[in-house]
Structure 1
Amino acid sequence: MPRIKKASRNMTTIKSNRTYVLFHTICKIAFLSSGTNFWFEDMDFPAKLINIYNAIAPVLEVIVALFIMSHCGAFWTQPNLNEKQSNDRMLLTCVNGLTYLVYVNILYYKREIRELVMTLAVRLKEVCNDGTIEKMMLRTTYRYISALVFICSSAMISYGLGSGIQALTTNATFTNMIPVWPDVEDRRIIAGAGRVVHYIAWLFLLARIIAIYMLILTITISIAHQFKHLCKYFVNLNDIFEGSGSQEEKERKFENAFKVGVKMHAITLWCTRQIQLTAGMAFSGQVIINVCSLGLLMIQMMSTERTLVAMMQIVFMALLILIGTGLFLWNAGDITIEASRLPAAIFHSGWHNCSRQSSVRVRKLVTIAMTQAQDRVVIKGLGLIELSYESYVAIVKSSYSLFSVIY
């Protein structure tokens, strides 16, 4: 597929639609969270704000990178931990480390992401954009994004609140995670300030991860609904023969429209390959996080005192893992389901209404289009796991199996 040139702000050919507005909003959030522009145009923020943010963004990036390094360094500098603290160190290092790699991977493919956003928000919508399907897509996106933001925020707040309550009610320090410094028993004021700074750095990382996950989810949901658009587009081609005009004009119009549909299908398949390329690490990382983290959480639940604060942290983290994995696998599975309905839609496009030479040409087109549409469209994790509702259940079960073997 040819590369899409960067759109200029003076372009008059781009027609705004609700999908365009949605992607624009998500890209704005991603820019404010990470300092990276995934939109195919310049961000429409004040120039002064952009200059200031571009100046501080590298500093924030260094803080986040040091935060991840602090997690890893704690394995050497914090040997005297109790069982819960050791489990927390392993769990948060796994989750934060893998999600940060996902974030870095998406930054690496930012140019491909821009092309993908341009294609889904503008190029495909210029040809066919059913209002009902678009409304359904927006409703699904808002619902899933709201769930993602809520559960991620709840998990972080539960760790901070739990550590704060423990510090106020007992002689413990405010230790919601295990950094490279200070020591968990260091009670100096500077050590307490260091723990607060570490918690704030976690907020910076979480903001980046949420924004990137929102973008990936929106793209995945949009691709699944684009196959819905294609199905309706081909089925509605039958209406051409119910309109006015001669049979010859109808056949010519149908043939041209059918070719446009085939081209749209090719572009949609390209979008599917691009999301596999750009977000493949996100899908794979989420599978690994689910298996490892749920196993660690189950071990932690068996060994942790059954208090409200301790259980709150475990429950919210488990929900974060389960819902985060589910959002990726469910929507990736929807792409496979919606793509599998396309051959039937092509068959019912009205090709049988054509006659003579037009019928010969159209039947060849239909045969080629259906053959291509019958190839399974799947998103894979780890290069071999087909992401779907069934694989989600299997992955969750494998987490319990891992726990059963270890514990």
Structure 2
Amino acid sequence: MSKFNSLEIINVKGLLKSKFSFNFFPNKPCILVAPNGYGKSSIACAFKSLKSNKLELRDEDFHNGNQTLLPELSVEFDNVKYCSNSTKNELNANFDCFVINSPIVAKAKQMKMGGFTRATASITVDSIELVATIPEKTAFNYSITNMRTWFGSNGKILSNIETLIANNEFLYFLSKKIDLNSFNKKRTFINPVSDIIENINNLTGSAKDIKDEIQCNILSSMDKVEPLKELSLLVEQFTGHTAVDCYLHTFQVWQVINDSSFSKALAYAMYTREKKFFDDLLSSVNSTRHNLKAKEVKKTKKGTKKKLIVEFPNISSISNGQRDIISFISQIQQAKSSFKKRHCILVVDEIFDYLDDANLVSFQFYITKLIEEFKSQDRFIYPVLLTHLDPQYFNHFCFNKHKMQVHYLAKNPNGTTSRFFECCKKQERPCYRK
């Protein structure tokens, strides 16, 4: 089984040069436990600073603020080392990486009053970007009149499929389960389907008579065209129609797919499906008095392109627990949208200030769901959870079956070991003297 063997970080925040040697395996939560000051935030920072072609730190994230100390992040995977630094990112070819952390930021504002400057500070919650670029709004090019004309002399047997192609769940499974490229192959699809349509147009009688004739003499020929059959079975799941009507719908879906606007229309349909999912999810976890919804905003002041964000209300009007769980779930969905490769690394950096039972169960539930989704797709996710908490907090019903991997960051950047760390590792309580 594939596994990570080690992680090395150089010149990132508090870490000058630290190598963490431990194995952790895919599709199982890996808990990295350490007290504050032992490098958890530096690990998160290193992964969050990965760009497509290099490792790029903010000025304040260089070790001791010294920008002459060049940063580096290296991981050893199946005994092969992948290195990222200021000139390259070898991880990017094989891994997608995403970091979930707290969106809370401190902001300062200066106001000049006469000859004096007054500074005020505040704590705010940054908005979370769910979709980086909203696709152009495009409709599917469909008309039953045009479709009947295309079909031929017996186009009267076709019924309107506007409702079907407006069904985003159907379109989702169409894009995920059906090989759309198979409809472009002449020998295995285009030619046999053209012959079938020609045979149908040679029939005479009413629409019912023609459908009966198709049922008796042509249906078996349709079943032999594998892509046509596969698509018709999907149509049947969403319509419940007879086999003949499903095949007639499938002919029309094929034409919609062949239209030049299909890709753009499908992308926009998938976006609207995703936005509804975000809104429903926010609604399900929103216990605030605010109406939280995903919001479309311009990417730049002068630009026309938009992005989709979750915008938080004033921090004083929601509780810490509400903020934490909404933030976590929003970022989980953001991570899912960004994960395209077979191997993906998810780093969760101590996002819960208010870790009650409800938040803990929600946290474990969504991580577990993500793992199950990857397993069903024959993909691999490496969830790395950074915490100072006793790992028994995470030994809940959701994580038991996944056999948590627990590793301790034994020493801080100064090379010393904390008494609290030893207590946590041995699951003891520190003794206090009066």
Q: Is the pair's TM-score, using the shorter chain for normalization, greater than 0.5?
A: no
- Which of structures 1 and 2 has the bigger CA Rg? 2
Task: Report the structure, 1 or 2, having the larger strand content.
Answer: 2
What TM-score, normalized by structure 1, do the two folds share? Answer: 0.26
What TM-score, normalized by structure 2, do the two folds share? Answer: 0.24
